[in-house]
Amino acid sequence: MGTLMAINPATGKVIDEVEETSLEMVPEMMAQAREAFEGWKTLPIRERLHYFKRLRLLLVQELDHCVEIIASDAGKPKVEAITAELLTTVESLRHLEKHGEDVLRTKKVKTPLALLGKKSYIVHEPKGTVLIISPWNYPFSLAVIPMLSALVSGNCVILKPSEITPMIGKLIQSLFAKAGFPDGTVQVAHGSGELGARLVAASPNYILFTGSIKTGKKIQKAAAEQLIGTTLELSGKDPMIVFDDAHLERAAKGAVWGALTNSGQVCMSVERIYVQQSVYAPFIELLKKELNTLRQEISDDTDLGVMTFAPQVAIVKEHLRDAMEKGAIQEVGSYDESWHENDSFRLEPVLLTNVTEDMKIMSEETFGPVLCVVPFSSEDEAVRCANDSEFGLNASVFSKDIEKAKRVAARLETGAVCINDVVVSFANPHLPFGGVKNSGLGRYHGRAGIELFTEPKAILLDEGKKATEVNWYPYAGKYPYFKQLITAYYGKRIQWPSFLAAYRKLLKKSQ
């Protein structure tokens, strides 16, 4: 069995070691989950929610400890660890505590006239064992929030956290254990993609994956072979559109935060900024001014953290190299060839103009602290540029004309749009979260995010007092009356006498 090293990317120091889960453990973990499922699914939801409350209180009590681990394992500023990771998670816990019972309640639905005298309702049953596979950029919230969404309806969960931030996987494991979740209800498998693939192959009942498109496709393929459902939360290249009637200072501050928070390692990062020509020059000046105020240092008050993962640093540098070679202008930043010899995880923010669609930095996910700004002259052009991408996760529109902003939002090919804001649609647990095009398949969060992990069972109830039904045997002589019934009921106007006459005939013929 190997060991995963937790390395603080800001210092390069090993801060913890986490024992890998062996591949041979996978069948045992699946068996444990299946055994635990028998008990967990039968608990009334209120009892399951007691565990959620205990976890929420534990998180609040251990806030500093959690922030410390998340900040040091992923290289985040503490403010980003407490807001984007902890705050979103406790908010999600509270949301499930408040609304879970209602979403999962058995619901009576209407029964059509064709099924006269019967009742219909929907029961939400858990799927069984849900596999959650999570990435390194928000290693806490992107693991815990889907875990909770699956647990609330009575599923058991196996989490395969990212091997790049193993200490956070260990933290999650200990928090669920401390909150007292029953044995086998929540298990954490520590390891690399090979372990993830082995878990996928072990036939869980559902998979929620967050990560790259490349891995998402592999998982989708393996899941299809076993007819397992998946939700895939994948990459982005999010556009921001700034109209000339926007609050420009707000738009500039929003663009800088949206592009640089978490060092730009956000699936919903602002990666392409389209600005109306008439305000382009002042907007660039505002961006420069805002960038000059930022602090990047090793301190609790730093605005900018460090990158988390060396291969991602290499991608960002390659995108910068390619852009500069093709004529991009560096308005802010110190990027030059020497960056490629430096193995530091601390990347300075870069502001680029004169960027074009043939540059990697404008078409592929960069996932780094870079702002790319392009002017546009009309609403149509802005929408065309924003939609000209294989991705569609989130987008932002800045304008004081809310009707225009809503109109543009409706035209954008994306899973979410923030109007006069950036990124934060994720933080509202009432809103569905997910992408279109290559940014993913399916949604979680919101009502749909709870129902996602259930099998909606349809129940049709007849009191069972009649000996037969009109559509049962015998068929002899019934055809004309069914025709009369359909014509009378579904034609231009409902003709009740004709409908009832046909129905009575059918009843008679059924005796």
CB of 163 to ligand NAD, least distance (A): 5
User: Do residues 4 and 190 touch, judged by C-beta distance below 8 A?
Assistant: yes
Beta-carbon contacts of residue 312 (< 8 Å; ≥ 6 apart): 265, 367, 368
Instruction: Give the one residue of 92, 137, 308, 454 binding ligand NAD; rule: CB under 6 A.
Output: 137
From residue 500, alpha-carbon distances to 110, 413, 478, 481, 510 in Å are 21, 49, 14, 10, 15
CB of 146 to ligand NAD, least distance (A): 10
User: Do residues 148 and 92 touch, judged by C-beta distance below 8 A?
Assistant: yes
Secondary structure (DSSP) of 369-402: SEEEEEEESSHHHHHHHHH-SS--SEEEEE-S-H
Candidates 137-145, 171-179, 396-404, 458-466: pick the segment binding ligand NAD (CB under 6 A). 137-145
**Is 249 a known active-site residue?**
no
The neighbouring-strand residues paired with 197 are none
Position 142 contacts ligand NAD (CB under 6 A): yes
Compose the 148-167 pattern: x for residues touching ligand NAD by CB under 6 A, - for all others: ------------x-xx----
Q: Amino acid letter at 361? A: I
Q: Amino acid letter at 225? A: E
Nearer to ligand NAD, 134 or 399 (CB): 134
Position 10 contacts ligand NAD (CB under 6 A): no
Q: Amino acid letter at 416? A: A
Question: Parallel, antiparallel, or unpaired: how do β-strands 156-160 and 186-188 relate?
Answer: parallel
Candidates 69-77, 230-238, 322-330, 497-505: pick the segment binding ligand NAD (CB under 6 A). 230-238
Catalytic residue (one of 267, 271, 365, 418): 267
Nearer to ligand NAD, 32 or 210 (CB): 210
The one-character DSSP state at 444 is B
Q: Whole-angstrom Cα distance, residue 413 to residue 387? A: 6
Tokens of 217: 């496709």
Instruction: Give the one residue of 258, 375, 392, 435 binding ligand NAD; rule: CB under 6 A.
Output: 435
Nearer to ligand NAD, 32 or 438 (CB): 438
Candidates 85-93, 234-242, 250-258, 320-328: pick the segment binding ligand NAD (CB under 6 A). 234-242
Instruction: Give the one residue of 215, 263, 389, 454 binding ligand NAD; rule: CB under 6 A.
Output: 215
Binders of ligand NAD in range 379-408 (CB under 6 A): 393
Instruction: Give the one residue of 368, 440, 446, 449 binding ligand NAD; rule: CB under 6 A.
Output: 440
Nearer to ligand NAD, 235 or 389 (CB): 235
CB of 426 to ligand NAD, least distance (A): 8
CB of 179 to ligand NAD, least distance (A): 23
Q: Amino acid letter at 340? A: H
Position 4 contacts ligand NAD (CB under 6 A): no
Tokens of 335: 């990027």
Catalytic residue (one of 233, 271, 364, 365): 233
Provide the strand spans (E) within 243-376: 270-276, 329-332, 350-353, 370-376
Nearer to ligand NAD, 9 or 375 (CB): 9
Nearer to ligand NAD, 160 or 505 (CB): 160
CB of 312 to ligand NAD, least distance (A): 7
Binders of ligand NAD in range 178-207 (CB under 6 A): 192-193, 196-197, 200
Where b means 16+ CB within 10 Å and e means fewer, 256-290 reads bbbbbbbbbbbbbbbbbbbbbeebbeebbebbeeb
**Is 233 a known active-site residue?**
yes
Q: Whole-angstrom Cα distance, residue 455 to residue 124? A: 6
Beta-carbon contacts of residue 9 (< 8 Å; ≥ 6 apart): 74, 75, 306, 307, 308, 309, 345
Compose the 260-279 pattern: x for residues touching ligand NAD by CB under 6 A, - for all others: -------x------------
User: Do residues 134 and 160 touch, judged by C-beta distance below 8 A?
Assistant: yes
CB of 71 to ligand NAD, least distance (A): 18
Q: Whole-angstrom Cα distance, residue 242 to residue 273? A: 8
CB of 379 to ligand NAD, least distance (A): 27
Smallest Cα–Cα separation from 62: which of 92, 85, 94?
Answer: 85
Residues interacting with ligand NAD, by CB under 6 A? 133-138, 142, 160, 162-163, 192-193, 196-197, 200, 210-212, 215, 218-219, 233-236, 267, 365, 367, 393, 435, 440
List the catalytic residues. Answer: 233, 267
